[in-house]
């Protein structure tokens, strides 16, 4: 059975739309704490997934684990290495496009983008993470910066 990419995208869109509708209903009924609960649960799940695959806890190991597989998934980004750290500028994020199209970019941020710092902290406590922009929030890019904390 051959996978039709157009049909696969439609299925993903329907899933994200259903997820967004459900989360909006929960937030409407239970308040803003739903976003915090959903973000915490998703962060823990993503941390587990990353740690199961984490062999090399270096900055290069993190990039190879988290970023390089995304190239084949239509993510577009550049990697700039310096003695201060690694700056990744992402200019195309299919996940953001999907959540934005489904009217759920705020949920996409809570479920994925908000977990980035905690994932880095779990991956290597001596590594730091900074970001000021995300495509999910409507910016032109995501500006991930990874660095080693002082004294390490």
The domains of the chain are located at: 5-148
pTM of the model: 0.88
Cα separation, 105 vs 110, whole angstroms: 9
Q: What digits encode the pLDDT tens for the residues 105-137?
A: 999 999 999 999 999 999 999 999 999 999 999
Q: What digits encode the pLDDT tens for the residues 32-66?
A: 999 999 999 999 999 999 999 988 999 999 999 99
Q: At a CB cut-off of 8 Å and minimum separation 6, what does 51 contact?
A: 122, 123
| Class of domain 5-148 as given by CATH | alpha beta
Please give the pLDDT value at position 116.
96
Q: What digits encode the pLDDT tens for the residues 68-92?
A: 999 998 999 999 999 999 999 999 9
CA atoms within 13 A on the CB side of 30: 12
Cα separation, 109 vs 35, whole angstroms: 10
Q: Provide the 10 A C-beta neighbour count for residue 99.
A: 26
């Amino acid at each position: 059975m051959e996978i039709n990419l157009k049909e696969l995208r439609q299925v993903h869109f329907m899933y994200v739309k259903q997820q967004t509708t459900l989360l909006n209903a929960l937030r409407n009924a239970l308040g803003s704490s739903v976003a915090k609960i959903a973000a915490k649960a998703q962060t823990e799940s993503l941390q587990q997934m990353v740690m199961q695959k984490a062999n090399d806890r270096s900055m290069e190991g993190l990039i190879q684990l988290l970023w390089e597989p995304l190239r084949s998934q239509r993510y577009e980004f550049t990697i700039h290495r310096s003695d201060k750290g690694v700056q990744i500028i992402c200019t195309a994020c299919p996940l953001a496009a999907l959540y934005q199209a489904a009217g759920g970019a705020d949920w996409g941020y809570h479920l994925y983008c908000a977990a980035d710092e905690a994932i880095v902290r779990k991956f290597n406590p001596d590594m730091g993470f900074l970001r000021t922009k995300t495509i999910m929030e409507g910016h032109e890019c995501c500006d991930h910066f990874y660095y080693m904390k002082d004294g390490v």
